[in-house]
Amino acid sequence: MSTLPSGNGLAGRRVLLGISAGIAAYKSAQLARLLKQAGCEVRVVMTEGAQAFITPLTLQALTGEPVRTSLLDPEAEAGMGHIELARWADVVLIAPGTADLMARLATGMADDLLTTLCLASEAAKVMAPAMNQAMWRHVATQRNAERLQQDGWRLLGPDSGDQACGDVGPGRMLEPEAIVAELLAQPAETPPQELPARGLHIVITAGPTREPLDPVRYLSNHSSGKMGYALAASAARLGARVTLVSGPVTQTTPEGVERIDVETAREMHEACLRLIAGCDIFIGCAAVADYRVDGVAEHKIKKQEGEDGLTLKLIKNPDIIADVALKREPASHRPLVVGFAAETRDLEAYARDKLTRKQLDMIVANDVSAEGLGFGADDNAALLLWRDGEGESSESLPAQTKTRLADAILRRALSCLPDGPTH
């Protein structure tokens, strides 16, 4: 059974849980239970279509509150009930959020109880999208997602994986535990004086790079970008100005984060060196290709009859984290440099070597061969190594959501700064 820490930041929060018409609605029962377990007051609003997947009676039993399903309910609306409900909420959380609901909210429609509440409420607004992978990737959905974020919505996910329709790809609703962990990471607006990264500029790299072989093929790796994006979201929540240099991923840009898209290691290298003069912390989380092909083919490489193989000559790519660490002069513009070490064996030995050899201030090492952790997973564990006045120190962080792990990594990095921001 999932449990939450006592004294968590959600206790006493009033959560209006909106459920729309997606197969992932069955997960909303577990989400409601976890929110209650966290100490939240929970009231549920369901769209008409959502009731085809899960009954209002189930949610009523889990929350202890009547479930609202209609805008035109004469008994509830006798005292303008939908306005009272909108005013009651601290957080409006929609899970699942379908493509249809996203489209209606993005255009400001109020044609049912849930969309009307969203327009009438001044509460924080959070959504966990869930839909078929093609629907999520569609330009209209991406446009709606961007508009919703501009309007103040915080989007959690979606995740990637097997879907009920048989497809595989982005569009799965985050698991209830991951949604609650995200809310725990940012339960409410934090007063500016309590933001430990306020005034800092943090540059983060994320995702894989792609090194072309010819116009249709490339070399890459399994990085999903989830850890780097979690770090960017955490840094923004802690008050930093965040620039995210991202390889090709399907992740949604975190709220308040500036994103620069790149494809190759050389493009990422150029962007990072351009940014480091004005940053306080540089975090190299991307899984950058160590090698590229010496000479990209102008046309698609064809299979040759009678040949059993293909030989490619690979040359080294620039070492981004090492070059950033070496270009930390003048001292007034010296960023704290944090590297990552994704290993499959001898984790601590390789991490210590990288920390010393590349002159880093801190390194985050993780075992990407561990089942359920690392590339593509929602959870991760890490070994932190850093330099301080007494030499090297270390800390082991157990398996946890990447959101919570990102917070722990950022807070450790902030503790390594000499006296706060340098600018």
Does residue 420 carry a pLDDT above 50? Answer: no
282 a known binding residue? no
Query: What is the pLDDT at residue 72?
Result: 66
For residue 191, cis peptide bond before it (omega within 30 degrees of 0) = no
294 a known binding residue? no
340 a known binding residue? yes
363 a known binding residue? no
Does residue 62 carry a pLDDT above 80? Answer: yes
The region of weakest confidence among 39-48, 79-88, 277-286, 401-410 is 79-88
Does residue 47 carry a pLDDT above 70? Answer: yes
Query: What is the pLDDT at residue 189?
Result: 52
375 a known binding residue? no
Tokens representing residue 92 in the block? 């409006």
285 a known binding residue? yes
Report, in angstroms and rounded to the nearest whole number, the Rg of the chain calculated over CA atoms: 23
8 A C-beta contact, residue 391 and residue 352 = no
Q: Tell me the angle at which helices 402-415 and 176-185 cross, rounded to the nearest 10 degrees.
A: 30
The region of weakest confidence among 53-67, 274-288, 304-318 is 304-318
Find, among 127, 134, 102, the residue nearest to 28 by Cα: 127
Q: In residues, how long is the chain?
A: 423
pLDDT in tens, 330-369: 554 679 999 999 888 999 999 999 999 999 999 999 887 7
C-alpha dist (Å) from residue 134 to 141, 169, 172: 10, 8, 12
pLDDT bin (cut points 50, 70, 90) of residue 73 is low
Query: What is the pLDDT at residue 233?
Result: 87
**How many whole angstroms separate alpha carbon 185 and alpha carbon 113?**
29
Does residue 6 carry a pLDDT above 70? Answer: no
290 a known binding residue? yes
Cα of 375 vs its chain's centroid, Å: 13
Strand order in the sheet with 336-343: 257-261, 241-246, 201-206, 281-284, 336-343, 362-367, 379-388, 391-401
Tokens representing residue 341 in the block? 């070490």
Does residue 58 carry a pLDDT above 50? Answer: yes
327 a known binding residue? no
**How many whole angstroms separate alpha carbon 281 and alpha carbon 324?**
11
Does residue 415 carry a pLDDT above 50? Answer: yes
Q: What is the mean pLDDT of the chain?
A: 85
Query: What is the pLDDT at residue 80?
Result: 45
pLDDT over 90, % of the chain: 50
State yes or no: is 416 an active-site residue. no
Taking the model in full, what pTM does it have? 0.59
**Backbone angles phi and psi of 319, in degrees to 5:** -90, 100
Range of 177-181, 192-196, 281-285, 380-384 with top mean pLDDT: 281-285
Average of pLDDT values for 257-281?
94
pLDDT bin (cut points 50, 70, 90) of residue 79 is very low
354 a known binding residue? yes
pLDDT bin (cut points 50, 70, 90) of residue 74 is low
The region of weakest confidence among 43-57, 160-174, 213-227, 260-274 is 160-174
pLDDT over 70, % of the chain: 88
Average of pLDDT values for 263-290?
94
- The one catalytic residue among 40, 118, 165, 416: 165
H/E/C letters for each residue in the chain? CCCCCCCCCCCCCEEEEEECCCHHHHHHHHHHHHHHHCCCEEEEEECCHHHHCCCHHHHHHHHCCCCECCCCCCCHHHHCHHHHHHHHCCEEEEEEECHHHHHHHHCCCCCCHHHHHHHHCCCEEEEEECCCHHHHHCHHHHHHHHHHHHCCEEECCCEEEECCCCCEEEEECCCHHHHHHHHHHCCCCCCHHHCCCCCCEEEEEECECCEECCCCCEECCCCCCHHHHHHHHHHHHCCCEEEEEECCCCCCCCCCEEEEECCCHHHHHHHHHHHHHHCCEEEECCECCCEEECCCCCCCCCCCCCCCCCCCCEEECCCHHHHHHHCCCCHHHCCEEEEEEEECCCHHHHHHHHHHHCCCCEEEEEECCCCCECCCCCEEEEEEEEEECCEEEEEEEEEEEHHHHHHHHHHHHHHCCCCCCCC
319 a known binding residue? yes
All domains of the chain in start order, with CATH:
14-185 (3.40.50.1950), 195-415 (3.40.50.10300)
280 a known binding residue? no
pLDDT in tens, 185-200: 765 555 555 578 888 9
Does residue 2 carry a pLDDT above 80? Answer: no
The two most distant CA atoms of the chain are separated, in Å, by 82
313 a known binding residue? no
Does residue 241 carry a pLDDT above 80? Answer: yes
Q: With the CA atoms of 268, 269, 270 and 271 taken in that order, what torsion angle do they form, in degrees rounded to the nearest 10?
A: 50
Rounded to 5 degrees, what angle do the CA atoms 377, 381, 2 make? 70
